[in-house]
Amino acid sequence: MSEIFLDTETTGLSFREGHKIVEIACIETQDAIPTNNVFHKLINPERDMPLEAFNIHGFSAEFAEHKIYNNGDSTKHIDWKLFAKTDKLYTKRYEEETNMRCHIILDQSASMHYPFVNQNPGLEFNKIEFSALASAVLLHILKKQRDAAGLSLYDQTHSFYASEKASERHYRMLVNTLEKATLSTSQNATTKTFEVLHQIAEQLQRRSMIFLFTDLFQSDIEASKLFEALRHLKYNKHELVLFHIYDKTTEFSFDFENTPKRFVDIETGNHLDLFPKTFQKKYTAAVDSYFEALRLKCAQYKINYVDVDIRQGFDKVMMTYFEKRHKFL
C-alpha cells in the first residue's frame, strides 16, 4: 500500500491570529518502506516568530535566508548553527538570489530636524520625519518584493550601518532604527557629509540601488567634496538617487511674516536678526541658483537628482523608486 506522510511547522496554531506555515515536508512509503519520493519546502511567513514556536522547531525569522541542503551542494555554505538547532542541513542563501539590493542613506543632522512642527500650523512633518517615513514606506515595498535592503544613518559621524538583507527580523530592525532617528538630534555640530559618504562607499561592495535623503546644506568648499563622494558612491555600478529634502515655504521662498526675527543656524548656533521681506528677493535668487547648480552637477555625473518639498507628500519619492527599479533590473 502506498502512503504519504505530511508534516508541517508553523508560527502558531490559529490562522485567525495571523499564524502561518513555515515548513512543509512529505515522504512517500510503499508497504511501510520509504521510497525516494520526498518533498520539502520552506515558506517565508512574513511575520515574527513567537518564542513558543521557536522553542519547538528552532526556526527563527531569519530562516528565510536559508534553503534546504541537497546532495551535490557545496558543504562550505552549510549553516552549522542552524543544524545544531534543527538537526537539519541548510545552506545560506546569498544575496544574488534576491531580486535587488537597495541601500538607504539618511542624513539625521540637526538641520534635518527643521522646520519645527509645533511652530508651523498645518505642517505634518519636519525633514527628518518626512525622510524616515518615506524610507519606511520604501522598506515595506522592498520587503514585499523580496528585495534585500540596508540602511546608513549619519550626522557629524557615520552613526549606523546595516548591510543588505531580506529577512523579516532585519526589516523590523531597520524600521525601529528609523523611528529612533526622528527622536535624536545633535545640536551645534557641523556635518561633513562627504566624509561619511566615502566611508559608506567603501562598505558597499555589491551593486545596489542607493537612495540618499539629505537637505544638502553644505559650504561652497564642502560642496565640491560632496560630489567627489557621490561619484565614489556610484563606483561598482551602483545606481544613485539623491533626494534633496527641503521645506519650500521657508527654505526656498523665505516666506515669513515681515516682523523682526532671529534666524539661528541649528548646526553652528550662529544667528542673524533681520526683517525677512528685506532679504527675501536676494535670498530666493541665491537659493534658486544653488538648486540649479545642483541639478547641473548631478546631470554631469549622471546622478539622479530629485528635489522633494516636504509639504507635497511622498508621490515624488515613490514614483522615482518604481521608475529606477524598473531600469535597474
Band the pLDDT of 142: cuts 50, 70, 90.
very high
Contact 100, 148 (CB under 8 A): yes
Same domain, yes or no, for 170 and 313?
yes
Going from the C-alpha of 289 to that of each of 221, 255, 294, the distances in angstroms are 16, 18, 9
46 and 185 inside one domain: no
Residue that the C-alpha cell 539590493 belongs to:
101
Which of the pair, 176 or 65, is modelled with greater confidence? 176
Residue 168 sits in the same domain as residue 70: no
Q: Domain boundary residue among 29, 61, 93?
A: 93
Task: Give the chain's domain count.
Answer: 2
Residue 260: which CATH number?
Answer: 3.40.50.410
Q: Are 324 and 241 in contact (CB under 8 A)?
A: yes
What is the per-residue pLDDT across 54-113, written as a single tens digit (0 to 9) for each? Answer: 667 666 555 545 667 777 777 776 777 777 767 778 776 544 445 689 999 999 988 899
Whether residues 20 and 109 share a domain: the answer is: no
Q: Tell whether 175 and 275 lie within a shared domain.
A: yes
Same domain, 194 and 106: yes
**Could you say which of 63, 93, 123 is where a domain stops?**
93
For residue 262 the three cell numbers come to 532671529
pTM assigned to the model: 0.69
Q: Is the pLDDT of residue 235 over 90?
A: no
| 285 pLDDT above the threshold of 90 | yes
Q: Are residues 64 and 154 in the same domain?
A: no
Domain check: are 158 and 268 in the same one?
yes
> How many of the other CB atoms lie within 10 Å of CB of 329?
9
Q: 81-96: buried (b, 16+ CB within 10 Å) or exposed (e) per residue? A: ebeeebebbbbebebe
14 plus 120 within the same structural domain: no
CA angle 272, 277, 280 (to 5 degrees): 80
Asked if 10 and 134 sit in the same domain, the reply is no
Q: For residues 179 and 13, what is the distance between their CA atoms, to the nearest angstrom?
A: 32
Q: Are residues 57 and 177 in the same domain?
A: no
- Which band of pLDDT confidence, cut at 50, 70 and 90, is reported for residue 247? very high
pLDDT digits (tens, 9 = 90+) for 126-141: 999 999 999 999 999 9
Q: Please report, for the chain, how many H helices and E strands are present, in that order.
A: 8, 13
Domain that holds residue 255: 97-328
- Do 114 and 54 belong together in one domain? no
CATH of the domain at 66: 3.30.420.10
Preceding amide of 115 cis, omega within 30: yes
Domain final position from 93, 110, 125: 93
